[in-house]
Amino acid sequence: MSLDATDRKILAALQVKGRMSNAELSEKANLSPSACHRRVQRLESEGYIRDYVALLNARKMGVPTTVFVEITLQGQAEEVLEAFEKSVARIPDVLECHLMAGTADYILKVVAENTEDFARIHRQYLSRLPGVAQMQSSFALRTVFKTTALPV
């Protein structure tokens, strides 16, 4: 199914405020509440809407420090990649892990309380990841822009 302009309005509105009532959403999409509800159900069933979540404030949660960790593995064999990916997925402080094209094999987004907490995360988890040849960490000084909204 392709998305029409009304579907895109619904998706854009829900990305900004996922807990919006159906009545409020139907007004923004210029639809009746029942038609809007059917569209949202269709967008969910077809996988355009994957989930609904609460986005937490990292500072309030005590993990205001963001660290990007570039990892180069010793090799590219499938079993090396699989072992690394299974292990990294179990680290609670890692928010994202991306297989990369470029100088590093993977890049991780890690949250921590501060530099001392990141040292603990490094010692307890990152240094024990299988197949790692090299690791480079970069601390974010300030978040200039951040969104979870995809372009619709």
Separation between Cα atoms, residue 86 and residue 78, nearest integer Å? 12
Rounded alpha-carbon distances, angstroms, from residue 73 to 28, 80, 95, 137: 48, 8, 20, 15
Burial 130-152 (b: 16+ CB within 10 A, else e): ebbeebebeeeeeeeeeeeeeee
Q: Where are the domains of the chain?
A: 5-45, 65-139
Can you give the pLDDT at residue 23? 97
**What is the mean predicted confidence (pLDDT) over 35-63?**
97
Do 65-139 and 5-45 fall under one CATH topology? no
Separation between Cα atoms, residue 8 and residue 45, nearest integer Å? 16
Q: Which CATH architecture has domain 5-45?
A: Orthogonal Bundle (1.10)
Q: Which fold has domain 65-139?
A: Alpha-Beta Plaits (3.30.70)
Across the chain, what does the average pLDDT equal?
97
Task: Retrieve residue 75's tokens.
Answer: 């090799």
pLDDT confidence tier of residue 1, bands split at 50, 70 and 90: confident
| DSSP structure string for 46-57 | TTSS----PPP-
Looking at the DSSP bridge assignments, the partners of residue 81 are: none
Q: In this structure, which long-range contacts are made by residues 94-100, counting pairs with CB atoms below 8 Å and at least 24 apart in sequence?
A: 94/125, 100/70
Report field, pTM of the whole predicted structure over 0.95: no
Residue 70 has pLDDT above 90, yes or no: yes
Residue 15 has pLDDT above 80, yes or no: yes
Cβ proximity of 116 and 134 under 8 Å: no
Task: Retrieve residue 91's tokens.
Answer: 């680290």
